[in-house]
Amino acid sequence: MRRLITLGLVLALASSSALGQVVAGDTTGPTTTKIPTTLKFLNERVEEVTFEDAPLDQVMEWIADLTPMNVVTRWQILEDAGVERDKPISMHVRNLRLSQVLWMIMDEAGGSDLKLAYRASGELLIISTSEDLGKEMLLRVYDVSDLLVEAQDFYGAPNIDLSQVSQNSGSGGGSNNLFDDSGNDEDENNRNDDEDNASINELITLIVQTVEPDSWADNGGLGTIQAFRNLLVVRNNILVHQALGGYVEETD
């Protein structure tokens, strides 16, 4: 039976790594993965980061100087939410990806009462509150074939008619067919279809329950997620897409 690698998916979601290929344009043929500029830089490792009560605006300037990305901080929205430019940031970490460092900075700046987030698109990195960025609904298609694993079942084994075996033995043999495999192919196809549907439905349920649960229509939000073969069609906010794909790339 086909089974979902639930543990692997949970780890992927928890680390905001890729759920699957993000498919744009024609989804009927083979897909190619284009690594966007922002994803490449966000995945680069920073040897060492040390801040000791550094003002938040200087920390954001450091981010801008570290990469060729255009870093835009929506200061007015942050200040309206209670995050001042001189908010002190302290941290000392080594050998982390820039995306991890960025999340740590935003966690400290927002504290326990406010969640900050970023939107990475093209060569632009926008910093704001999760509420602000969460208003932008985006539609993306994810190929999740790699998350659906098939454990081979040996369906279609022939049925042996023992009564014919007895008759052939008594009559000295014959050419009667001892094996009845009628209907096996159809049964196997039906079973495989049912298992495919069960696996991807289980995946959808897991996503809705673990990735920004309040954002989905089933829980009172606006987000939707539907399956088409091995693709997931997701319409939701930037935070959900970051959790599923790790980035959001603008399409032309």
Mean pLDDT of the chain: 76
Q: Could you report the per-residue pLDDT of 180-200, keeping only the tens digit for each?
A: 555 555 655 555 555 667 889
Pairing of the two strands 116-121 and 179-180: unpaired
Cβ atoms within 10 A of the Cβ of 216, count?
Answer: 21
Which residues, including other chains, have CB under 8 Å from residue 120's CB and lie 6 or more apart? Answer: 36, 38, 39, 42, 69, 126, 242, 247, 248
In 3D, which of 101, 93, 92 has the Cα closest to residue 44?
101
In 3D, which of 217, 212, 219 has the Cα closest to residue 238?
212
For the chain, the structural domain boundaries read 3-153+184-245
Which residues, including other chains, have CB under 8 Å from residue 154's CB and lie 6 or more apart? Answer: none
Q: In terms of pLDDT, which residue wins out, 129 or 41? A: 129
Residue 7 binned pLDDT confidence (cut-offs 50, 70, 90): very low
Q: Could you report the per-residue pLDDT of 81-106, keeping only the tens digit for each?
A: 999 999 999 999 999 999 899 999 99
17/173 Cα distance (integer angstroms): 64
CATH number for region 3-153+184-245: 3.55.50.30
